Amino acid sequence: MSLRALPHADPGVPDVRSGPRLLLWLERRQWRGQLAAGLWGLLHLASLAALPVAVGRAVQAVADRSTGALAAAAGWLVVTGAVAAVADTMLQRAAVTNWITAATRLQQLLSRKAAELGTVLGRRVAAGEVATVSTNDVEKIGWFVETTARFSSALAAVTGVAVTMAVTQPEMAWIVAVGCPLMTLSSLPLLPYATRRADVQRARAGRATVLVSDTVAGLRVLRGIGGEELFLRRYRHASQEVRGAAVHSARMWALIAAVQVVLPGLFLTAVVWRGARLALDGSMPVGELIACYGFAAFLVTPLRSFEEMAMAWSFSRPSARRAARLLAMRRQSEPAAPGYDVLPDGDLFDPVTGTLAPAGLLTAVVCGDPDAAGRLADRLGGHDPVARAAGEPPALLAGVPLDALRLDDARTAVLVQDKETTLLSGTLAELLDVPRSGAVTARRALEAAQCADVLEALRKSLPAPRRDLPGPRDDPMAAAVTERGRSLSGGQRQRLALARSLVADPGVLVLDEPTSAVDSHTEARIADGLRELRKGRTTVVLTSSPLLLDRADRVVYLAGATAVAAGTHRELLRTEPAYRAAVGRTADERPRRTAGERELEEPA
């Protein structure tokens, strides 16, 4: 396969029953590339094995004073050298192609799985673990896939040379018979220890990566409470643990490397000693002695492929096990029915809690438990793995179970925006360039989400306009939003995320605490804008804010995980004491931010 064909149009459906099965599946998926690499490797090793014979014949021709034999040997050297050079070049091309092809296929599978799981992935696997699998583990798995082709060609070459030496020089065969297996198996007992030390190093490096990620994400908070030095000490400690584990692992690999140098040297010494004794006795011509030495020196090259194969297997097996475990995760059961030509449109109902969101209305849900509210939001979008594992029934859209829809159809029908605000790096235009119906423009979505101050901040971040450049230079849509929106305040990030959800204009929009980081005045304007923009569309807002509740067409109150009352906000205030206490406590405890406090929230 050519690298120009990457990425794969379809990476396939992997066998994730175990790590070895995943490796075998990757091997089968690119058997043509593996076959090409194996054939080029065999040709390369065969040409290298022929060189000692040519050198031996040239030396023997000089000893016999035969000009014709010397010319033939010289021609043989030229041809075999040229073939070895070409075959080596093509082998490297094929090997690198196999490595990159396997790694790309696995990365595409991991990316597809991350897109399928969505927020579920972050709740089940640490971010550092996902990053490690998609980088270090993918590299090790690609290394193993690439090594198998060279291993097969090395095995064929060693067999051929051993048979040749046994036929032409039986006196030397016992050295080869003992030396080859000894060199091949010498480092195998050390590999499990090296692998365990490498796993310890990887685990500590993963923890350090998670610590760094958390520290960077919460840097503003750390500065506010003066905790930079505390986290710096923690990172120094984690870094020293990684360094110590790396040194501990490197010592074992140094020992393996030393064994791989010492044993081949002893093997060559034994060959030269035995060959010299035979030559002095007159039972072996000097040309054959040189050829035998060349064969012995040649065997070191394919035998190192055996050792590399053992190392690749030792490293890739746990990596493949971790990758298979991640790829085996499921968001929901696969739908038994085919996709719908027309997506269902109607009431959204959760049978677990009894929550009903009538079609075309703005429904607010009050739930005292934030975790239960998050699970309800996931369930309304068909994303809750806990409910699926417990056998709980899925949410229904117009009477159709969400898990009866294909994943793409379910996400088109219902869009869930959870509490965690995630903004990808790029321009504001790119941030809002999401799959959409086209009925809501970016300008209307930004206005409804009250992003005027965000646009002004982004406009100020643009470089000064230049007269030599055409076009407007103060368009905030061209301004860059940094990774995770760290140049913006928490409220600004939350409003941009809301605008992104509004511009998508899904049939059903589920918002989990969309205004928790904004002040009361802005929250009231967002409530009005949300109600106006989503008029006639089904919207569910999980909140306990009286400002949002007052604008909702219908309010559902959950006690624990069960819907116990429904009506308008004012009706529930009059008839439900528990609801009144929950909403009143929220209103009392929620501080109103002054203009000065809002200013402090803005980035420096």
Q: Letter for the amino acid at 243?
A: R
Domain boundaries for CATH 1.20.1560.10 within the chain = 13-327
Residue matched to tokens 């992935």: 121
- pLDDT tens digits for 287-345? 677 777 777 777 777 777 877 887 788 788 888 988 998 898 876 544 444 555 667 88
Chain-centre distance for alpha carbon 122: 12
With beta carbons less than 8 A apart as the criterion, state whether 528 and 547 touch.
no
Task: Give the C-alpha separation, 239 to 225, whole Å.
Answer: 24
pLDDT for 465 equals 53
Q: Is the pLDDT of residue 445 over 60?
A: yes
| Domain 13-327 bears CATH identifier 1.10.579.10 | no
**Three-state SS annotation for 483-494:** HHHCCCCHHHHH
Q: Letter for the amino acid at 251?
A: R
Mean pLDDT of the chain: 81
- pLDDT tens digits for 56-82? 778 778 877 888 888 888 888 888 889
Q: What mean pLDDT comes out for the span 386-395? A: 67
pLDDT for 336 equals 44
Q: Of 525, 195, 138, 554, whose CA–CA distance to 326 is shortest?
A: 138
Q: What mean pLDDT comes out for the span 507-521? A: 91
Where does the pLDDT of residue 422 fall: very low under 50, low under 70, confident under 90, or very high at 90 and above? Answer: confident
Domain boundaries for CATH 3.40.50.300 within the chain = 348-567
Residue matched to tokens 């192609």: 97
With beta carbons less than 8 A apart as the criterion, state whether 248 and 197 touch.
yes
- pLDDT tens digits for 360-384? 999 999 987 888 888 888 888 876 5
Task: Give the C-alpha separation, 247 to 423, whole Å.
Answer: 38
Q: Of 490, 587, 496, 578, whose CA–CA distance to 547 is shortest?
A: 587
Q: Letter for the amino acid at 37?
A: A
Quote the pTM value: 0.64
- pLDDT tens digits for 25-58? 999 998 999 999 999 999 988 888 788 777 777 8
Question: How many CA atoms lie less than 13 Å away from 145 in the CB half-sphere?
Answer: 35
Q: Is the pLDDT of residue 511 over 90?
A: yes
pLDDT for 40 equals 93
Q: Could you please report the per-residue DSSP string of 102-131?
A: HHHHHHHHHHHHHHHHTHHHHHHS-HHHHH
Share of the chain above pLDDT 70, in %: 85
Backbone angles phi, psi at 473, to 5 degrees: -115, 5
Q: Of 456, 437, 438, whose CA–CA distance to 495 is shortest?
A: 456
Q: Letter for the amino acid at 33?
A: G
What's the DSSP call for residue 68? H
pLDDT for 342 equals 67
- pLDDT tens digits for 229-259? 777 788 888 888 888 888 988 888 788 878 8
Topology adopted by domain 348-567? Rossmann fold (3.40.50)
